[in-house]
Amino acid sequence: MVKKLLPSLGEFKKFAILTPLLVIAEVILEIYIPFLMSKIIDVGIKNSDTNYILKIGALMILMALFSLLFGVLAGKFAATASVGFAKGLRKTLFEKIQMFSFANVDKFSTASLITRLTTDINHTQVAFQISIRMLVRAPIMLISATLMAYTINPRLCIIFLVAIPLLSAAFYLIGTKAFPLFKEMLKKYDGLNAMVQENLIGIRVVKAFVREDHENEKFRKAAEDVRLAQLKAEKLLVLNMPIMQFVMYGCMIAISWFGGNMIIRGAMETGELMSFISYVTQILVSLMMITMAFVIIIISRASMTRIVEVIDEEIDIKDNSSSEDPVIGDGSVVFENVNFSYSKNEDNLTLCDISFEIESGETIGIIGGTGSAKTTLVQLIPRLYDVLSGRILVGGHDVKEYRLDTLRNAVAMVLQKNVLFSGTIKENLKWGNENATDEEITEACKIAQAYDFIQSFPDGFDTQLGQGGVNLSGGQKQRLTIARALLKKPKILILDDSTSAVDTATDSKIREAFSQKISNTTTIIIAQRISSVCDADRIIVMDDGKIDAIGTHDELLATNSIYREVYESQQKGVA
């Protein structure tokens, strides 16, 4: 897993390597300084040797200054490396997501992709910084302190042989027991938050049905569950500190006894005993730091797994990498025995055996109930998804023979869920063609019947849109997205229920403009309203993933029951 994440370090690799080195230097000085401190007491003060004290004092100050320098640099480098790592990861992930096909995006869901790019990367950053700092510092501290203790008195070190395994075992046990409990608690906690979120969104429903007490009772139960889970987990964790103290105090008493006996026998100095004890403290504290670091890393492992999942995701639509990129001759579209399934499963087909031909410049309407796979059908044309079997030809070539951007530049699609981005109207329109002139923009907006309302805004084309175009009405948004697609000057234009919020009069004006201004463009229109498609050259009636009929309005009205039913449901009552 780590192997897949580390390449994201990039140029910050040197900082990631320098940090541990500096930490090591800092720790060694830190270990050595107490040794000098005991010298000041044991030799300098004992012998009233001012010169010695000043000399050792100066040395100590010098070392402290160096240690300070190393420490500060290590801190800075650690920050640089871990922030750089996060930045690299974010970039890797975001680039990968940009390569995602629709199927890939569907698989992850937008919310989960956002979490991965934000929260999960933060957790990984924290874990990384701990790895290059705390996880270097603590073991080095442990080793050097053990070595120092060993040079003072090897025999007393036998105590460590008891203490360290004992403590490690205790920490390990607590850790392994507590970890699943914490996971359980976090799950309950997520559930609790989800409940709050639900109530926030549905507050009107709660109030309309007078269910406040019901919700309160539900919440109280969930909150109690969280409390109990938290209690259970933390009950274990609070054992850490007392156990640590117990072992440490045990060591001190044991050392005082055995060390005391050695001193009496002349095998040890009193000052040595004091130093020995301070090294013992350091050893045990390092041990605790190591466990804590591991706990944090283990917790962030889930985040790392989620990040790696994105990195590992197989892009299911591969761009044609060969040098051949045929020119798209015209706007003809051919479906040959196309089967399609979102789950890539033969038994769960969304589209079943679809075959039809559209000539360049034709206008095709598609009609059908919710779930009849109209959207799925048109999304296959710009290769937003790949067919399961059969093939689709655009301009005479299989869509897989084109490079993706060639294909998608020739096929403009206005999605059902139309998205505008924060920025000005003009900036949004230029998504269609970055180099569009003002004349071209005006022309496209006139065709889409958007020009007039844009002009009615005080800032015209420079009007700022909020995220998602919040300050526009549904119909206005739809007309802007149509204009945006027109600016691509596509060979094929697909409107997926894109005029549903536009009134019928404007809707027909748009279609009229299409037939006058862009008559060479193949136009495919999905609509709920019969009036949006009735004047198309041909209309495809979809039902449950199959083509039920193809024909003109009059033909279908005469022969197709679904079409007639839809027609009638919309005609009722019109005077």
Residues 190-209 that bind another protein (CB under 8 A): 192-209
Q: Which of 9, 31, 74, 338 binds another protein (CB under 8 A)?
A: 74
Q: Which of 117, 186, 298, 352 binds another protein (CB under 8 A)?
A: 117
Q: Is 162 in the site for another protein (CB under 8 A)?
A: no
Report the C-alpha gap between 247 and 245 in whole angstroms.
5
Q: Where are the alpha helices (DSSP H) in 432-503?
A: 438-447, 451-456, 474-486
Q: Is 118 in the site for another protein (CB under 8 A)?
A: yes
Q: Is 548 in the site for another protein (CB under 8 A)?
A: no
Torsion angle of the four alpha carbons 547, 553, 557, 560, in this order, in degrees rounded to the nearest 10: -10
Q: Is 60 in the site for another protein (CB under 8 A)?
A: yes
Half-sphere exposure of 233 (CA within 13 A, CB side): 18
Q: Which of 1, 474, 519, 558 binds another protein (CB under 8 A)?
A: 474
Q: Is 114 in the site for another protein (CB under 8 A)?
A: yes
Residues in 39-58 that interact with another protein by CB under 8 A: 40-41, 44-46, 48, 50, 53-54, 57-58
Report the C-alpha gap between 544 and 538 in whole angstroms.
20
| Nearest-approach distance from CB 419 to another protein, in angstroms | 4
CA distances in angstroms from 253 to 167, 273, 286, 394, listed in the order given: 16, 12, 20, 85
End-to-end CA distance of the chain: 68
Q: Are 268 and 259 in contact (CB under 8 A)?
A: yes
Q: Which of 11, 154, 161, 242 binds another protein (CB under 8 A)?
A: 242
Task: Please report, as a single letter, which amino acid is at residue 36.
Answer: L
Binding part of the chain for another protein, among 66-74, 160-168, 174-182, 544-552 by CB under 8 A, reads 66-74
Enumerate the β-bridge partners of residue 389: 339
Closer CB to another protein, 252 or 388, in the complex: 252
Report the C-alpha gap between 415 and 386 in whole angstroms.
18
Strands 464-465 and 538-543: unpaired
| Nearest-approach distance from CB 94 to another protein, in angstroms | 5
Closer CB to another protein, 26 or 533, in the complex: 26
Q: Is 277 in the site for another protein (CB under 8 A)?
A: yes
12-36 burial: b if 16+ Cβ within 10 Å, else e? beebbebbbebbbbbbbbbbbebee
The three-point CA angle 479-485-490 to 5° equals 140
Binding part of the chain for another protein, among 1-9, 85-93, 353-361, 518-526 by CB under 8 A, reads 85-93
Q: Is 314 in the site for another protein (CB under 8 A)?
A: no
Among 376, 379, 403, 396, smallest CA distance to 331 is for 396
Neighbours of 214 (CB within 10 A): 11
| Nearest-approach distance from CB 66 to another protein, in angstroms | 9
Q: Which structure tokens are listed for 92?
A: 């890797």
The site string for another protein over 14-33 (x = CB under 8 A, - otherwise) reads ------------x---x--x
Q: Which of 6, 24, 64, 103 binds another protein (CB under 8 A)?
A: 64
Residues in 168-187 that interact with another protein by CB under 8 A: none
Closer CB to another protein, 329 or 371, in the complex: 371
| Nearest-approach distance from CB 431 to another protein, in angstroms | 5
Q: Is 572 in the site for another protein (CB under 8 A)?
A: yes
Half-sphere exposure of 570 (CA within 13 A, CB side): 14
Binding part of the chain for another protein, among 232-240, 321-329, 351-359, 550-558 by CB under 8 A, reads 232-240
Q: Which of 10, 75, 139, 175 binds another protein (CB under 8 A)?
A: 75
Binding part of the chain for another protein, among 150-158, 330-338, 394-402, 467-475 by CB under 8 A, reads 467-475
Q: Is 130 in the site for another protein (CB under 8 A)?
A: yes
- Angle, in degrees to the nearest 10, between helices 474-486 and 504-517: 10
Closer CB to another protein, 358 or 384, in the complex: 384
Q: Is 432 in the site for another protein (CB under 8 A)?
A: yes
Report the C-alpha gap between 224 and 230 in whole angstroms.
10
